[in-house]
Amino acid sequence: MSIVDSETIRAVPAFGILFTEGIHSGYNQKKRKGIISMETKDKRNLQLFRKRTVKMDVLACRWMENVKLKVKESSYVKYHNLVYNHLLPELGDRPSGKLTTAYVEEFVQKKLESGRKNGKGGLSEKTVRDMLAVLKEICIYTAGCGIEIPCRFELIKVRSCKIETTVLNRQTQQALEQFLLQDNSLTKTGILLSLYMGLRLGEVCALKRGHILYAEQILHVRGTMQRIQNIGKEGHSKTRVVVTEPKSSSSLRDIPIPDFLMERLEQIRNMPDNAYLLTGSTETFIEPRTMENILRRYLQECGIQKINYHALRHTFATRYVESGFDAKSLSEILGHSSVNITLDRYVHSSMEQKRRNMEKAAGLTLL
Residue 151 sits in a domain whose CATH number is 1.10.150.130
| Structural domain includes residue 102 | yes
Residue 15 lies in a domain: yes
Is 14 within 8 Å of 3 (Cβ atoms)? yes
pLDDT averaged over every residue in the chain: 83
Does some domain include residue 128? yes
Do residues 125 and 213 share a domain?
Answer: no
Residue 165 placed within a domain: no
Residue 4 buriedness (CB in 10 A; 0-12 / 13-18 / 19+): buried
Q: Both 138 and 226 in a single domain?
A: no
Q: CA-to-CA distance for 158 and 62, rounded, in angstroms? A: 26
Residue 278 shares a structural domain with residue 301:
yes
For residue 345, what pLDDT band results from cuts at 50, 70 and 90? Answer: confident
Residue 183 lies in a domain: yes
* 185 and 319 belong to one structural domain: yes
Count of the separate structural domains present in the chain: 2
Burial class, 212, CB count within 10 angstroms (exposed 0-12 / middle 13-18 / buried 19+):
buried
Q: Can you give the CATH number for the domain in which 188 is found?
A: 1.10.443.10
Residues 40 and 143 in one domain: yes
Question: How many other CB atoms sit within 10 Å of the CB of residue 101?
Answer: 14
For residues 104 and 218, membership in a common domain is answered with: no
pLDDT higher than threshold 80 for residue 24: no
**Residue 68 CA to chain centroid, in angstroms?**
16
Q: What is the DSSP string of 55-81?
A: BHHHHHHHHHHHHTTTS-HHHHHHHHH
How far is the C-alpha of 77 from the C-alpha of 68, rounded, in Å? Answer: 9
Per-residue confidence band for 40, with pLDDT thresholds at 50, 70 and 90: very low
349 and 298 in a common domain:
yes
Nearest Cα neighbor of 142 from 203, 79, 205, 61 is: 61
Residues 143 and 194 in one domain: no
Q: Find, among 9, 38, 46, 39, the residue nearest to 24 by Cα.
A: 9
- Total-model pTM: 0.77
User: Are 123 and 188 found together in one domain?
Assistant: no
pLDDT more than 90, % of the chain: 61
Q: How many residues does the chain have?
A: 367
Give phi and psi for 55, each to the nearest 5: -85, 150
DSSP sequence for 222-244: --EEEEEE-TT-TTS-SEEEEEE
pLDDT of residue 364: 61
How does pLDDT run across 293-330, given as a tens digit for each residue?
A: 999 999 999 999 999 999 999 999 988 888 877 888 99
Domain hosting 223: range is 170-356
